[in-house]
Structure 1
């Protein structure tokens, strides 16, 4: 799924993990484990590929997305932080949609390979540039554990002397064989329909994907199951630390408006996101932390 990228190895980190760069010096962490293949970009600490050997990919990546340090990558698992979407404040100040974490350069701070998988940690801390956008001291850590499943934990540490609130998401793009033959089970009983001015609606027990969907469901305790019928598999998702689950597919007409998504890209992707979307966000007191997590298998 990353075969369209021209990469060359710059450093070996373990038997299965190495650093690679493209022709423009854009950095990737490439994992070729005996059980799976995976790739992260240091830009955004962004998981862009995960595929268990002899299976279909689990994560979708747009082959039309550009790779430069000013834009977010379309696909994978973008980290939306410290806000979700375009807030009224971010729009009035012309700040980046979904925050700055997904367009920031992170540091690979820990690597551990073992028999069945790998653990990685990526870190992002406050700088003069981030404080000009969001005036707080923080340490953000993405803890990634990959084996026969994906486990991503986004840890927000408040290192300032004042409390702050934040919002965001692990904006997961799942790879499916045919979105029109997908359904989602385990969602909450109500949601806000972003395609209908955020109107609150009741949901069916099973969501069938047969058109454009952009819905913010209340978080619940049960697992979410995506029935990827054409791949004859079920994708199981468990989230923690979130107040919402966002389900998104642009479908035919909206997909054509994205320059970084193929016109038919909607057919092979479905976003099911562990998110914090409430206006008040999550309160993180000074010296404390909060974790947003998703587990996908």
Structure 2
């Protein structure tokens, strides 16, 4: 298989095609990742082990509709994140003034703890984002953009990812326990991450948050998460975005998705030239329109100092 066909087949998986990109190095890295012990041969995985597979069928349907999952477990999820991008010279941060709305495919592995009742009487559970991979192509910057959960460089101390939390919005009433539900709930995501343009790291160990309300199940579904991670530098100018279309996935699909992001940063993968051309053509009239508006505004100010 030539290099171009290999790259196209690899990226096809991230768009939902049947081809899989499963390099042995990525699979081995995932199996040996910290905090994810392997189940000994011949032993059945337990629900409280980080790599135990999800089995929603083990939970009573009525319980799952009303309450947070009772067991600790590892979740694998995918979603779509849309982030407004601005030219470095653009001084606005309003989404309507963005020069491009980039769409990033996201893959996440998180470790969820069992729920508890906090001292204020609200039910909650905490979780940690262990791996997080986003990737997409920007016509504005003519580059692949990837986000990834930060890892320590050689000789540096380990990067400790912060805890995230999901909290029920109501407290149980002991007089009417049959009416109580953990849903709707509010969820807050916290992560420390790096950003790359192609293979160049332009943001390092950046803390960021995201949140959503109206959560009615775990993992969240049919909700919009506020992706509050704006950043501006000489390399990139990105605004606050949204995360949608969250879906639980298998570990195999997560490893393949994560492998695409890793491959992009290593220079092994790229979006097709056809896709780049399509995006550039779609973006050109938007940029021309904004440039014309900027010239018109400058002329107006010059005429009316």
Same structural fold, with TM-score higher than 0.5 when normalized by the shorter chain = no
Going by fraction, where is helix more abundant, 1 or 2? Answer: 2
Please give the range of the TM-score, normalised by the shorter of the 2 chains: under 0.3
Query: What TM-score does the superposition give when structure 2 sets the normalisation length?
Result: 0.27
Query: What TM-score does the superposition give when structure 1 sets the normalisation length?
Result: 0.28
